[in-house]
Chain A
């Protein structure tokens, strides 16, 4: 059901855990829908220097969390905001149709973390 890339990111997820010196944190999702994702950002001079995540969720949720964090690492906030769930899914060689909604979470979690960072700076 899942592509090899999805299974790779699911079994060996990148950027797992908490970032001790994060300056932007975003949590999205809820237990009702079944997936919850928390993203930690360390932003310096408008660039995402480091990023990590924690996810309660299915294979698709964990794999998209892993891939999305890889894709925004080293990017400016503006660039990171443009990383869509579609781009993350493409990078994973696709997801089954019933799993597309799980991939939206990663995009939303990154947006929430960036918003949190901006609020902290204001």
Chain B
């Protein structure tokens, strides 16, 4: 069976070119980048090069790029690092209710440590209002953290405007750009971001590798204490192969953003329009226009998401769902509930995330299979009658 992978927001395949760049550092070049000798210097050079590649990808200076173990660590570090460094200034943090758990759970933990957090709701279209952000600012606010693009519904947040607002109030601004990377152009200066998180495996890089961009001059505590790596800010012997892979992936991802976005958007629209025109009682979740090119998130009334996923999987199609049963939690997606879906529609959601490798044939296959699966499940649903 030909497998059709439409779960690129969960993770992406490692690019062969990235693997090729990594291989020497998994085999021959085993040096520790902190060593004085030649073998160590090889590793150091490779890390420096990767740092430049990442800097170019996001419009930063190389010495503002810190390598981490992934998006989760970057988000944890951004929030905890800024919060603790600014304790004398205030204890208030502004974030949104639709952040990834890496931000939300960190914010919740900070609440147990004496910080106060405002979780701004998104509108019904899945987009935050700038006005809400402005109203939430107090003279005790020490950090604003708003994601660039949502991982479930793909909605793009007005990060450049929020960045400008934060700058005007002299409040550090962090954005989780994990889903934005490779999909839309990232520019830390245009966005006026002081901190920005990336995760390698979302743009064909290695898993367990991330970046935190920290604008120079930003007050920040380390998360990991130890050796002097990453300019004394993130201890631990560098994962040289991982860093080299992330650098290569960033360089590749930066090259074809606009071209890919156009192609992916066209296929994604074909998928959404095809579903909406052939299946009744379906809603598109999240704003139609202001969303990641590759994201289609829809609720199929009267059907539970995991059942849909399993039928798609039996047909070789990989997607994901915000239903509680699919995620293994007891609650359906906090994002879908936050934008006003009732529990039933939140359980009924299905997320397709395309990539530049997605073909029209694959989309056609999904469009051909889906109505039958939906009919079958609706025929056994006590909610549809």
Interface residues of A (CB under 8 A from B): 2, 7, 10-11, 13, 16-17, 27, 30-38, 53-62, 98-99, 101-102
- 9 A-B contacts, Cβ less than 8 Å apart? A7-B310, A31-B343, A38-B382, A55-B382, A56-B302, A56-B304, A58-B307, A59-B310, A60-B325
Contact check, A55 vs B323: say whether CB atoms are below 8 A apart: no
Contact with A along B299-321 (1 / 0, CB 8 A): 00011111100110010000000
A54–B381 CB distance below 8 A:
yes
Contact A33 B324 (CB under 8 A): yes
CB distance from B334 to the nearest CB of A (A): 13
Complex Cα spacing A31 to B303, Å: 11
A61 CA to B332 CA, complexed, in Å = 16
Task: Determine if B342 is an interface residue (Cβ-Cβ < 8 Å).
Answer: yes
- Establish whether residues B304 and A58, one from each chain, have CB atoms under 8 Å apart when the complex forms: yes
Rounded to whole angstroms, the CA-CA distance of A56 and B344 in the bound complex is 10
Tally A-B pairs: CB < 8 A: 73
Residues of A within 8 Å of B344, CB to CB, are: 31, 56
Tell me the count of chain B residues lying within 8 A, CB to CB, of chain A: 25
User: Are A35 and B325 closer than 8 Å at their CB atoms?
Assistant: yes
Q: Which A residues are in CB contact (< 8 Å) with B342? A: 31
User: Which residues of chain B have C-beta atoms less than 8 A from A53's C-beta?
Assistant: 380
Report the separation of the CA atoms of residues A2 and B313 in the bound assembly, to the nearest whole angstrom: 13
The answer to whether B326 has its CB under 8 Å from any CB of chain A is yes
Partner of A62, one of B323, B380, B383: B380
**A-contacting residues, B323-337, CB 8 Å:** 323-326, 328, 330, 332
Which 7 pairs, one residue from A and one from B, show the smallest C-beta to C-beta distance?
A58-B325, A58-B306, A31-B344, A54-B382, A38-B382, A31-B343, A98-B328
| Residues in B neighbouring A16, C-beta threshold 8 A | 379-380
Q: How far in angstroms is the closest Cβ of chain A from B153?
A: 19
Q: Distance (Å) between the CB of A107 and the closest chain B CB?
A: 17
Residues of A within 8 A of B382 (CB): 27, 36-38, 54-56
Which A-chain residue is minimally distant from B329 (CB atoms)? Answer: A98
Contact of A54 among B307, B310, B380 (CB under 8 A): B380
